[in-house]
Amino acid sequence: MSDPTMKTTSDVLAGRDLTRVTVLVTGATTGIGKETARALGAAGATVIITGRSDEKGKQAVAELRDSVPDGSFSNEVLELGSLASVRAFADRFLVEHDRLDVLIANAGIMAVPFGHTDDGFELQFGTNHLGHFVLIGRLLPLLVSSAPARVVLLSSGGHAASDIGWDDPNFASRPYSKLEAYGQSKTANVLHAVEIERRYRDQGVHAWSVHPGMVKTDLGRHFTSDDYAELIERAKATGGELPRRVGVDVGASTSVWAAVTDEALSCGGSYLADCAVAKARSWATDPAAARRLWALSEELVSESFPEPD
């Protein structure tokens, strides 16, 4: 059950009319992403969701339409662990859509066993960051032409587990830790938002990273009791504690807040939690590190997204 003292998606969107707004939400077949799509659709937005299969996407759209009968929802297949899939999706999207007001990079994986994406990247870094890096890079021209536009990247308080392993982001030679790999990928999400804001704010595109809180969703399906115990110990070691669990309506509220509110525009590039600016680790908000990650990401995916003139 959600904490009644925290804002929900309904609180954020009360009285708002988004009928002229087109939104893309990745990974929206379940959990926070699905609630984000539902809430924005209920406010009138045209919402395109992505899922890893057409079957899951169609099922989610049917459920969203049951919840919001007048809503405009559609689905597309996107596998972020395959850059071929990301590029094919972006190509289709650019042909089929002439505007994009909000891109919410919600999809992700968490604490998975060691493995690689189709392109040979460590699964969490490759899926959570590099897949979205290519997707957003290819859709940025459409966002610029639709400006004012917004990019929201789902990060996590878990970014505190690790900075970027600059010399070995794919754990090729260092011991694999599923929590550190997750933390690295979530740090990358924060840095990505910082650099998008720097590069594109003058073109009318703003970006934020978001910590949704602890929400019970399918994201944690690989999380074991030992993982949870380690998470508690890591929190204690830094003088903190785990936040209380919240429902998806609270978990999705900060994404929605960044996507629609005027208040968010005063803090572009920021790390957000509970519908407000939050404090991230210094390594995740360093502008020099954000530029370095952009360059490293371009090198890894063999694709360049030059800084606008």
* pLDDT tens-digit series, residues 207-235: 999 999 888 655 555 556 666 555 556 55
For residue 57, being part of any structural domain is answered with: yes
Exposure b/e, 9-39, CB count within 10 A at least 16 = b: beebbeebebeebbbbbbbbbbbbbbbbbbb
Cβ–Cβ < 8 Å for 12, 263: no
For residue 304, being part of any structural domain is answered with: no
Work out the pLDDT band at 1, boundaries 50, 70, 90: very low
For residue 120, being part of any structural domain is answered with: yes
Q: What is the longest distance spanned by two Cα atoms in the chain?
A: 53
Residue 2: the pLDDT is 45
**pLDDT tens, position by position, 43-67:** 999 999 999 999 999 999 999 999 9
Work out the pLDDT band at 309, boundaries 50, 70, 90: confident
Q: Which two tokens stand for residue 29?
A: 């077949």
Catalytic residue status for 176: no
Say which amino acid occupies 3: D
Residue 240: the pLDDT is 56
CA 238/CA 221 separation, integer angstroms: 26
Does 7 or 309 have the greater pLDDT score? 7
Q: Read off the CATH number of the domain in which 259 is found.
A: 3.40.50.720
Task: Give me the helix-helix angle, 31-42 and 54-67, nearest 10°.
Answer: 40
Give me the half-sphere count of Cα atoms (radius 13 Å) on the Cβ side of residue 55. Answer: 0
For residue 3, being part of any structural domain is answered with: no
C-alpha distances out from residue 296 to 140, 160, 180, 291, 304, Å: 19, 21, 19, 9, 10
Cβ–Cβ < 8 Å for 4, 74: no
Domain that holds residue 252: 9-296
CA 136/CA 141 separation, integer angstroms: 9
CA 122/CA 185 separation, integer angstroms: 10
Share of the chain above pLDDT 70, in %: 89
Average of per-residue pLDDT values in the chain: 93
For residue 216, being part of any structural domain is answered with: yes
Residue 238: the pLDDT is 56
For residue 288, being part of any structural domain is answered with: yes
Residue 72 forms beta bridges with which residues? 46
Mean pLDDT across 272-301: 98
Number of domains in the chain: 1
Residue 185 forms beta bridges with which residues? none
Q: What distance, in Å, lies between the first and last C-alpha atoms of the chain?
A: 48
For residue 308, being part of any structural domain is answered with: no
For residue 305, being part of any structural domain is answered with: no
Give me the half-sphere count of Cα atoms (radius 13 Å) on the Cβ side of residue 99. Answer: 10
**pLDDT tens, position by position, 103-155:** 999 999 999 999 999 999 999 999 999 999 999 999 999 999 999 999 999 99
Q: How does strand 149-154 pair with strand 102-105?
A: parallel
Q: Which residues contact 142 (CB under 8 A, 6 or more apart)?
A: 93, 94, 97, 99, 100
